[in-house]
Amino acid sequence: MRFPRHRQRGQSAIMFTLAVMIVFGMIGLVVDIGYAYYRMQAAQAAADSAAMAAGLAAYQAGSGSSVNCSTTGVACWTTETDCPTTFTGSTNNMQKGCQYAQTNGFTSSGRQRVTFQSNVGNSGGAVLVYWSKAKVSERLPQLFSAVLGNTNATITATSTSGIRASSNGGCVFALDPAADAALRMTGTTALTSGCGVFVNSNAADALNIVGGGTITTTGGNKTQIVGNWSGSGIINPAPQTGVPSILDPFSDMDPPTVGSCTNSGIGLGSHQSLSISPSTGYSVICNGINLNAQSSLTLGPGLYIVKGGMSLGAQTTITGSGVTIYLADGGVTMAGGATANLSAPTSGTWQGILFFQARGDTTASSLVGGTSQSLVGTVYFPSAPLTFTGGSGTNATNTTIVANTLSLVGNSWINAAASTNFTGTVAGVFLVN
């Protein structure tokens, strides 16, 4: 039996209408999702700028030295609090953050909501003395995809800024975000820290202890690991694992200006000795410092810029007080039996900084000397692997170490107090997440 042609044409019209509705619904869904993504990006930018503004305002209110809930101009909103709808001025750092959110197009009115929360202490395991959390949300009416029943969508962005404290942030940092054994301890190594240990790697064996090494943290501080740890050592108290990653704790420290050479290089033969200072023409040393076996170099107080690295042979000695060594390129190599007795300045521009290897320089360094080795201050090798042996149990060193990866070997001892001339109180503001 055949149907009349006009009936077939009617069926086609119905199918076409249904298909068009589905196609337009899908197009509308794509348009709405794209717009939601655009607004999400805008909300995240507003949250980031608001959190940073609140953190910077708190940092400035504390004059870069201390921040707490009693600091004038610093507010602690311990519960999530809505930003004001209108402003007549900002009397604290939270309101400053709210103003930045408003400048970026988000307020607590209509379909939008901006809230803040802040307090002293750690946030989510990050090493902070004060944190500010901004939350920006917006309800978006659905335009085309409303025909599918989606009448509204809500986007939410959060951002937290933190004020980092080097005195409570850690004395030992391994910065590599993914390395296996970013911090490795081998042998009868003992690490005692009054200001914590931080391993930034997210690897399952980010911290690896072999041979019975121990880590002891005091004063309520802990060993914090983004990933996890492995090995046969002892960590007391138990480490915190799975903590949020952090940025380089000295990322806001500007390197010195490297000028032209004032000395063509230092090379001492066996049993030779030399005493130098920046004032005697050794402020910028080119072609490195090379000490052969049983030679001795004494450094007067000041800043030494070294191009070409440093090499200390067996039984060599290097001493100096109030010294900062900036490695413009190249690293440091110490042979076994070398003796280093160096301390950083206790005041001035380079307070607490003993070694500073140029950022981006991946040359490995080895500060491995005899049991009498004493390096007092911060050794900063942010882009390079560092191997460290630090004295003995009777000559423990007050050392802060920052390296891309770190190996503590042999009878190495570090005994860093919570607060010394070589650790500040507050060291900058950064976004936690």
Domains in the chain: boundaries: 19-163, 167-421
Question: For residues 25-60, b (16+ Cβ closer than 10 Å) or e, as one string?
Answer: beebbeebeebbeebbebbbbbbbbbbbbbbbbbbe
Whether 372 shows a pLDDT value over 70: the answer reads no
| Residue 395 confidence class, pLDDT cut points 50, 70, 90 | low
The two tokens of residue 130 are: 């004060």
Rg of the chain over all Cα atoms, to the nearest angstrom: 29
Please tell me the distance from the alpha carbon of residue 145 to that of residue 153, in angstroms, as a whole number: 11
Mean pLDDT computed over 31-47: 87
Closest to 98 in 3D by CA, of 106, 161, 123: 106
- pLDDT over 90 for what percent of the chain? 48
Whether 260 shows a pLDDT value over 80: the answer reads yes
The per-residue pLDDT for 16 is: 55
Tell me the pLDDT tens digit for each residue of 121-169. Answer: 765 545 577 889 999 999 988 766 555 566 678 999 999 988 765 444 4
The per-residue pLDDT for 301 is: 97
Residue 72 to residues 9, 37, 60, 129, 268: CA-CA distances in angstroms? 79, 39, 10, 16, 56
**Angle made by CA atoms 13, 15, 18, in degrees to the nearest 5:** 110
